[in-house]
């Protein structure tokens, strides 16, 4: 979870780390965006919905509030169920998607970065993933590939940089230092994301070749982990485990308007609210949101078991892709 | 945090673990309740506000939604600030309040129960407290009081029972078993509470001699930890570390109505909403709350450091009281 | 790991939690013990050696320093290797052995106790196992067997009682309290054991129907977890993860004598030492062991990964047996 | 704890991370070493013995098996006792010693590195220390010194790099990367050390301006954290929390010889052993040491509470020095 100042500023906008949700907000308005290509498929046997969003140009990037690149989403409603066989299927699908982004004919070296705070349960996804990885770099360097009994061995290293309150450093500073020193071919960053809707929590994996881009992601790559800042391609894998508390209130507002529309006595009121433009809505919500909600998040009570399980599913996917 | 079914049923009621908040909701309506005595004081030097709520009879209990007994609240706005000296003052005040509830002229034996889930950060307050306690029971039993170099030694034991999803057992079953076997004079249960308002999070300590009473607490003592269920007096110490997600929405609704009252164009609407009776409000909120919010909680992003610090403050208070 | 006083007293005896090691010390002396039956088999495909030691009467118990009952040992040299498929085979074999001790035609209720200190890595085996169990008791009690989609559901509960320094209570007090309150048909206790030899560390699983019996186990059942103390059958499952530091020294002594035997110049010395009786040896070792070694243990540097993996293997075995 | 190959090679030499122990081994032999200056003092009130060893030239370095520089040892027999006031005294003394090595008239920026494996209890000292530090760098960078209400603010950052088995990278690679990127004036590395003698475990703090130098430290600075490898001065603070298992055996050997000297019947044997030169001794010990002891360590059973307490004492010392 990113905790930079920008986030607070856009708290009343369509705030989501998921391209698939950014896309939906346009679909609601029946708007088609130039420069954004969407492709959906469904694997019935595994009950996994795969959505590929390609942001082709700056116009699309501006509209979506996300940098140009590929965003693949795996949606699996049963991902919260602790069924080992089912999670193996998800890991396999994740491995397939990773292989589409990283050509593995030749050996590659990959640094896997577990973002987030291991002491805050819903934010511990990244650290959890790195704990379960098959790390090979030190073995190959010390004993050669033969030690692992294979002809082709990908060089996997991992790091859990911690969060700024614990280190005093930005994640980028730590990761850039390590990348400059160890020169991996690729960085894969794992992070817990913020979703817009509670119904997507812990049920969606997003894989993107644009890296991690806090804030709107457009025009501000300063603190992100991406090709521009690290000089190697960065793939980001994330699962939404929290919703910003302010988003919940925003949703309520929307629901209220809809509810009013449909309630006889309230139709006039709902209608009135509906005529508000974005700015007026913003002003109204600003007034009714408690200032204490900034920096708060919403998460399920059983998040401990869910994060542990999802962390394992992602690490297995990575282990499958690279072994 | 309790996770029983009753909670869900009353999700739209005034839902709070804090007597001081239950009281406030009546004050807002300018209602005085028979059978409830309130006494407030303020320690200027330490900036601690102390509120004592006494529920004297069944009428008060019904109105407050809490069992008869004493509820003391220490409110300290700076409790979230990591200032060791200030936290020592809070620990001292807590020790004083504990001594008012447990006469310590004679030696006593006390079992301290750390409720909650150590794997979910805001729910790990109880386990954190037990980790920092001065446990003496085993030393006294094996080597006598002399081993601790004192004439008078209180017998302190501690347990972290875990939550039902981990044990398959109700907390009461575990604690009752241990109490029957080890026969302490008192039980002190530490728990993370749910507040009604985000502004009280991590700033308030509640001490009560009524024990832990999930749900409304009136008429249903089945799963509680209290004198009735354990056959020894139970003191509960809690700090609100979360707000139920549904409460946030409820608050927003209230704020919306207030905001509308004061906004020129919306006055009519606000007025209309205000005329709704409780049932109509309930219906409206029911419609606008996402069903996905059940079982969700709201908590600050830096909850890891806060819970660690507050756990230490409570355990120091207990150590001061009993050593 | 047990930390009672008795242990210290027998620190210079054949000190081991493993029946298979107690047996070996007799074999070295070519002694056959009446009342002890030994049966060995080897599963070639899985490379698992299975030894069954049956102590039939008090004579055998006295000789072995262990209570009457069945002791099954699974020895697998590759158990320290992180190979998922191999560990699945071990889990299966463990499940088979458990089914031999607990008849599962009818539904049973089982309380699984994770002994040891979760804060000390080699002692965290028990807590690790309980974390990964499929706990069913609360689901069945609240929603019925149907909720789990089966006709027959075993009722599994679990507890991590902690160690005396943390709780002030003996493990038996906590477990007895919980057993009396929840009345399981069986208790299964998981514990990290002390081996006599470093070469057996993390490579052996012992399953016994005699429960946990600290000290010699003969004549002193006071603090053990067993049928006598808990009134339900107790099965203990353990893996040696440490060697007592004093044992290392004892072994060195033995090796020294052997080495001297074979070294030309030292033959006389070795011979002299060999003529010492047990008491003289004891006196000599007593002099050369540093008193600082009491309460110390020896364990491998990578014990963190090993304990995590072995804990998972045992919990999978239990899940297979009861699901 | 370092786990490089060199360590294994010198397993039968005087193996210790403590300069004060290296010194002692010479004193036993009544040898005075040119190029090594020793200065001892004792603070009676706090019961802290302070030994300063200065290795002045390459001759001293070779003899001591440690690089040139200053080594200060604080020895406090009561350091294992959980007495808050006493530990505050140790923290103060530690702060004083740090101030002697880092001139603090001007503001300095310091990166504090918590070495070791947080999953292995006796090796978690470094991570424990970093968790309790007052980290200031991010606050000063974002809000300026004023945010901390002071004119002079030292810039403190911290990192827990993890161990090679978890990251696939050498500690040096990670720390060098972060140092190059964030350019601190000083690095302070905290590490759990290996002592030669169990009686020094958890009772000694060593502070040195030579950094961390695995292996003999002379001539091989490749993997160390020091001025040469990081280009900034490196101060190392360590507490011995383990003894190498092989050392225990070595000690036993020595004790055995001494015991034999004093036992009537064994005098001849002891005498014989005493005439062995180092190489013969080495051969003998080699034969009697189990090969399984390599990579094993010895540590006390209550190491969890001790490490937590000592970690807090060091972090408080650092906080005092820099705030």
Closest Cβ opposite residue C182 in set B162, B164, B173: B173
* E-state strands within chain D: 36-43, 48-55, 69-75, 109-114, 155-159, 186-195, 204-208, 234-244, 296-300
pLDDT, tens only, C110-122: 999 999 999 999 9
The ipTM of this complex is: 0.87
Across the range B72-101, mean pLDDT stands at 93
- The percentage of chain B sitting over the pLDDT mark of 70, rounded to a whole number, equals 78
Q: Is the CB of A269 less than 8 angstroms away from the CB of B272?
A: yes
Task: Write down the pLDDT at residue C122.
Answer: 96
Residues of C in contact with D249 (CB under 8 A): 248-249, 252
Task: Write down the pLDDT at residue D277.
Answer: 61
Q: Give CA angle at B255 (B251, B261), nearest 5°.
A: 150
Q: Is the CB of B162 less than 8 angstroms away from the CB of C167?
A: no
Taking the domains of chain A in order of start, what are their residue ranges?
Answer: 2-243+304-322, 248-293
Report the range of poorest mean pLDDT among B157-171, C256-270, D217-231: C256-270
Report the range of poorest mean pLDDT among A205-219, B41-55, D65-79: A205-219
Closest Cβ opposite residue B302 in set A165, A273, A304: A165
Residues of C in contact with D265 (CB under 8 A): 272
**Residue A308 DSSP label:** H
Fold of D2-243+304-322: Rossmann fold (3.40.50)
Residues 131-160 of C with CB under 8 A from D: none
Closest Cβ opposite residue A177 in set D131, D162, D181: D181
Q: Is the CB of D167 less than 8 angstroms away from the CB of A157?
A: yes
B237 vs D194: CA distance, rounded Å: 43
Confidence of residue B30 (pLDDT cuts 50, 70, 90): low
Closest Cβ opposite residue A137 in set D137, D139, D169: D169
Task: Write down the pLDDT at residue A317.
Answer: 97
Q: Is the CB of A296 less than 8 angstroms away from the CB of B301?
A: yes
D179 at A interface, C-beta within 8 A = yes
Task: Write down the pLDDT at residue C5.
Answer: 37
pLDDT at D24 over 80: no
Q: Which residue has the tokens 């490196």?
A: D234
pLDDT, tens only, C206-240: 999 999 987 543 333 457 999 999 999 999 999 99
Confidence of residue A267 (pLDDT cuts 50, 70, 90): low
pLDDT at D218 over 50: no
Q: Which residue of chain A comes nearest to B255, CA vs CA? A: A288
D46 at C interface, C-beta within 8 A = no
Across the range D293-322, mean pLDDT stands at 92
Q: Chain B: nearest CA to A273, how far in angstroms?
A: 9
Across the range A303-321, mean pLDDT stands at 96
Closest Cβ opposite residue D121 in set C119, C201, C295: C119
pLDDT, tens only, A237-259: 999 999 888 777 767 766 666 66
Q: Is the CB of C137 less than 8 angstroms away from the CB of B169?
A: yes
Task: Write down the pLDDT at residue D246.
Answer: 72
Confidence of residue D12 (pLDDT cuts 50, 70, 90): very low
SS3 letters across chain B: CCCCHHHHHCCCCCCCCCHHHHHHHHHHCCCCCCCEEEEEEEECCCCEEEEEEEECCHHHHHHHCCCCEEEEEEECHHHHCCCHHHHHHHHHHHHHHHHHHCCCCCCCEEEEEECCCCCCHHHCHHHHHHHCCCCCHHHHHHHCHHHHCCCCCCEEEEECCCCHHHHCCCHHHHHHHHHHHHCCCEEEEEEEEEECCHHHCCCEEEEECCCECCCCCCCCCCCCECHHHHCCCEEEEEEEEEEEHHHHHHHHHHHHHHHHHHCHHHHHHHHHHHHCCHHHHHHHHHHHCCHHHCCEEEEECCHHHHHHHHHHHHHHHHHHHHC
Question: For residue D279, with 0-12 CB atoms within 10 Å meaning exposed, 13-18 middle and 19 or more buried, which class applies?
Answer: exposed
Mutation for testing the D interface, residue in C2, C121, C164 having most D CBs under 10 Å: C121
Task: Write down the pLDDT at residue D117.
Answer: 95
Q: Is the CB of C181 less than 8 angstroms away from the CB of B173?
A: yes
C114 at B interface, C-beta within 8 A = no
Chains that touch D (3 or more CB pairs under 8 A): A, C
D80 at C interface, C-beta within 8 A = no
pLDDT, tens only, B113-148: 999 999 999 999 999 999 999 999 999 999 988 888
pLDDT at A3 over 60: no
Closest Cβ opposite residue C198 in set D288, D296, D299: D296
pLDDT at A97 over 50: yes
DSSP bridge pairs for B239: B192
Closest Cβ opposite residue B180 in set C130, C135, C177: C177
Residues of C in contact with B181 (CB under 8 A): 173-174, 176-177, 180
C289 at D interface, C-beta within 8 A = yes
Q: Which residue of chain B comes nearest to C181, CA vs CA? A: B177
Backbone angles phi, psi at B204, to 5 degrees: -135, 135
Residues of B in contact with A256 (CB under 8 A): 253, 256, 284, 288
What are the respective helix, strand and coil percentages of chain A, to the nearest 5? 45, 20, 30
Global confidence as pTM: 0.89
Residues of C in contact with D273 (CB under 8 A): 269
Q: Is the CB of A298 less than 8 angstroms away from the CB of B301?
A: no
Which residues, in sequence order, are CB contacts of B15 under 8 Å at separation 6+? B7, B194, B196, B244, B246, B247
Closest Cβ opposite residue D296 in set C249, C253, C299: C299
pLDDT at B216 over 60: no
Across the range B228-242, mean pLDDT stands at 96
Q: Chain B: nearest CA to A168, how far in angstroms?
A: 14
The whole-angstrom distance between residue C221's C-alpha and the CA centroid of its chain comes to 16
pLDDT at C294 over 90: no
Q: Chain A: nearest CA to D144, how far in angstroms?
A: 13
Across the range C126-144, mean pLDDT stands at 95
Return the half-sphere exposure (C-beta side, CA atoms, 13 A cut-off) of residue C299: 32
């Amino acid at each position: 979870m990113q905790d930079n100042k920008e986030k607070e500023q856009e708290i009343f906008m369509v705030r989501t780390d998921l391209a698939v949700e950014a896309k939906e907000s346009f679909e609601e308005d029946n708007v088609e965006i130039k420069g954004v290509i969407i492709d959906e498929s469904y694997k019935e046997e595994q009950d996994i919905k795969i959505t590929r969003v390609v942001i082709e140009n700056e116009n699309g990037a501006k509209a979506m509030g996300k940098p140009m690149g590929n965003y693949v989403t795996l949606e699996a409603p049963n991902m919260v169920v602790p069924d080992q066989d089912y999670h193996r299927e998800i890991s396999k699908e994740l491995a397939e998607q990773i292989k589409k982004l990283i050509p593995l004919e030749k050996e590659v070296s990959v640094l896997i970065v577990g973002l987030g705070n291991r002491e805050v349960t819903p934010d511990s996804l990244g650290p959890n993933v790195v704990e379960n990885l098959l790390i090979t770099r030190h073995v190959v360097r010390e004993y050669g590939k033969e030690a692992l009994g294979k002809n082709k061995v990908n060089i996997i290293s991992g790091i859990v940089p911690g969060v700024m309150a614990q280190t005093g450093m930005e994640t980028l500073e730590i990761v850039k230092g390590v990348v400059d020193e160890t020169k991996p071919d690729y960085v894969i960053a794992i992070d817990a994301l913020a979703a817009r809707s509670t119904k997507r929590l812990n049920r969606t994996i997003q894989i993107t070749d644009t890296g991690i881009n806090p804030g709107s992601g457009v025009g501000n790559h300063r603190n992100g982990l991406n090709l521009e800042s690290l000089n190697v391609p960065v793939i980001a894998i994330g699962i939404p485990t929290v919703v910003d508390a302010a988003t919940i209130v925003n949703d309520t507002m929307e629901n209220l308007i809809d509810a009013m529309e449909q309630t006889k006595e309230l139709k006039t009121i709902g209608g009135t609210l509906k005529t508000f433009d974005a700015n007026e809505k913003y002003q109204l919500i600003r007034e009714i949101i408690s200032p204490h909600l900034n920096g708060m998040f919403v998460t399920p009570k059983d998040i401990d078991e869910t994060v542990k399980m999802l962390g394992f599913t992602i690490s297995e996917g990575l282990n499958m892709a690279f072994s």
